[in-house]
Amino acid sequence: MDMFRLDGKIVAVVGAGGGIGEGVALAVGAQGAHVVCLDINAANAAAVAAKITAAGGKAESGALDLGDEAQINAAFDGLVQKHGKLDGLVCTPAINVRKPILKYSLAEFDKVVNLNLRGNFAALMAAGRIMTAQKSGSIVLFSSIRSIVTEPGQSVYSMTKAGILQLAKTAAVEWGTLGVRVNAVGPGVVETPLTAPIKANAEWYNAYAMKNPMNRWAQPGEMAGPTVFLLSDAASYVTGTIIYVDGGWLAADGRFTPPGM
């Protein structure tokens, strides 16, 4: 089991203030890493760091706005100045504007793309500069089942999640000989603040639950195990790929079970 441990590693989790990011940060801390909890909401990030330390782990926190390139670079440079290295980066933030294509505004398009693609790209670059120089490290970006399948109203979100997957693959190709691994996690439906409007609509919520073979939504903490794996030495030969954590969503081609099955 030691190969799954993260003892002695410095891991930055962007989006650690809630949802999937919080679940990942807590798990990374439980596996022995020193967790740097970063979030646009500094108070939330600090609260998660406090949970990690209260459980006997090591953590610190800070504010990070993925729309601010200077702040991103300063945060990662400061992290290396303090700790001397960066072993892992997990980047979870994303937003969604659900609208049919013909009702989208370009301002809404920019809002989604600027965080989901530009912001994640900037974080990847900042971590990549450090990791390629030290010739080690693991980066985990968050894609989605929407990188492969979509539905009405998901045009821009799905586009960005497919882009995240291709970004992870390209970075893996560019940095593989430099000791840096880059992968993605692809959640299915997860109960987070982003999906709260769906949970508020019972018909919509239940339809999604019944779409996957497990007939339920995931909890944020269920994204943690695959992420810890990708950060750990257990995944030393895993790069440029995605782990879908979707309850079997992509395995099922319909909701109807034929008679006698």
Domain assignment present for 259: no
What length does the chain have?
261
Specify the residue for token string 């940060």: 25
Domain that holds residue 68: 2-247
Domain assignment present for 6: yes
Domain assignment present for 257: no
Which CATH number covers residue 47?
Answer: 3.40.50.720
- Contact (CB, 8 A) for 87 and 9: yes
Q: Which of 13, 126, 124 is nearest to 61 (CA)?
A: 13
Hey, which residues are catalytic here? 157
* Cβ neighbours of 11 (radius 10 Å): 28
Domain assignment present for 260: no
HSE toward the beta carbon, residue 10, CA cutoff 13 A: 18
Domain assignment present for 253: no
Domain assignment present for 174: yes
- In the chain, the number of structural domains is 1
HSE toward the beta carbon, residue 3, CA cutoff 13 A: 7
261 residues of the chain, pLDDT tens digit each: 699 999 999 999 999 999 999 999 999 999 999 999 999 999 999 999 999 999 999 999 999 999 999 999 999 999 999 999 999 999 999 999 999 999 999 999 999 999 999 999 999 999 999 999 999 999 999 999 999 999 999 999 999 999 999 999 999 999 999 999 999 999 999 998 888 889 899 999 999 999 899 999 999 999 999 999 999 999 999 999 999 999 999 998 766 666 765
- Contact (CB, 8 A) for 99 and 158: no
Specify the residue for token string 């989604």: 112
Domain assignment present for 224: yes
- Contact (CB, 8 A) for 97 and 111: yes
Specify the residue for token string 């370009």: 106
